[in-house]
């Protein structure tokens, strides 16, 4: 019940949840990028309840460019609280017209960019309501551990990652994930070109794999929710 508070108070960093929706074979979209909807309506409503509980929701720039999501909370009963939107955008490619700069939402939008900062469209992003947050990089990618430390200083106590395979892999690599929630739909997509939950180069040995602890599986009116904690 106190996992968010304990993590934030003891480390100064937010509690990080990675959420994904996938088929039984671990695919998050077809080879053509179709992903609506893998999970059922009950699962999707549960995700909005989770958004209502966390301080921030984080995605990578590829998700913004491809899907242009609102990243707001939409509950069946009541409006709910929109989380702070956190966009990981190393080279500041986001458009000032992106839906995450939603004038109808009171929630802030933070754009985490790599250092040194490319200033070509900073003004337009700030004018659209975005907050530019420079973060150090490793191998031309934002250091997500450094980003979590910066978000903690902004008093953001919990973050849910709802991105694609690339940012999921980066989060796993940088060991920032505390908890994983995967909504599995009872269907098989297949295909080597179909997107999976985690991208990147992968591991060479099973000894390098990431183990989960305190694993629970729940049935959600047809879908299955797998919930567990990382052994970082």
Closest CA to 164 of 15, 20, 17, 16: 20
Helix (H) or strand (E) holding 42: helix 41-51
pLDDT in tens, the chain (232 residues): 799 999 999 999 999 999 999 999 999 988 888 888 889 999 999 999 999 999 999 999 999 999 999 999 988 877 789 999 999 999 999 999 999 998 788 899 999 999 877 676 788 999 999 999 999 998 889 999 999 999 999 999 999 999 889 999 999 999 999 999 999 999 999 988 888 999 888 888 898 888 899 999 999 889 999 999 997 5
Q: Hey, what are 79's tokens?
A: 């409006």
Cα 127–chain centre separation:
25
pTM for the full predicted model: 0.92
Count of beta carbons in the 10 Å neighbourhood of residue 89: 23
Q: What sign results for the dihedral spanned by CA atoms 31, 175, 231, 3?
A: negative
CA atoms of 189 and 29, how far apart (whole Å): 8
């Amino acid at each position: 019940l106190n996992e968010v508070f304990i993590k934030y108070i003891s480390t100064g960093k937010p509690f990080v949840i990675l959420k994904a929706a996938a088929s039984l074979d671990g695919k998050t979209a077809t080879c053509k990028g179709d992903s609506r909807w893998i999970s059922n309506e009950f699962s999707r409503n549960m995700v909005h309840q989770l958004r209502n509980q966390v301080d921030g929701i984080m995605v990578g720039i590829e998700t913004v460019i491809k899907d242009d999501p609102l990243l707001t909370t939409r509950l069946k009963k009541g409006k709910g609280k929109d989380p702070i939107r956190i966009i990981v955008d190393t080279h500041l490619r986001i458009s000032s017209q992106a839906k995450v700069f939603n004038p109808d939402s009171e929630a802030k939008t933070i754009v985490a960019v790599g250092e040194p900062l490319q200033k070509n469209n900073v003004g337009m992003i700030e004018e659209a309501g975005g907050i530019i947050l420079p973060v150090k990089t490793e191998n031309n990618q934002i250091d997500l551990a450094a980003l979590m430390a910066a978000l903690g200083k902004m008093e953001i106590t919990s973050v849910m990652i709802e991105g694609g395979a690339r940012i999921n892999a980066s989060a796993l690599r940088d060991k920032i994930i505390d908890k994983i929630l995967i909504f599995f739909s009872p269907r098989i997509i297949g295909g080597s070109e179909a997107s999976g939950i985690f991208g990147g180069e992968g591991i060479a040995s099973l000894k390098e794999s990431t183990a989960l602890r305190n694993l629970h599986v729940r049935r959600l009116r047809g879908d299955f929710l797998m919930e567990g904690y990382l052994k970082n």
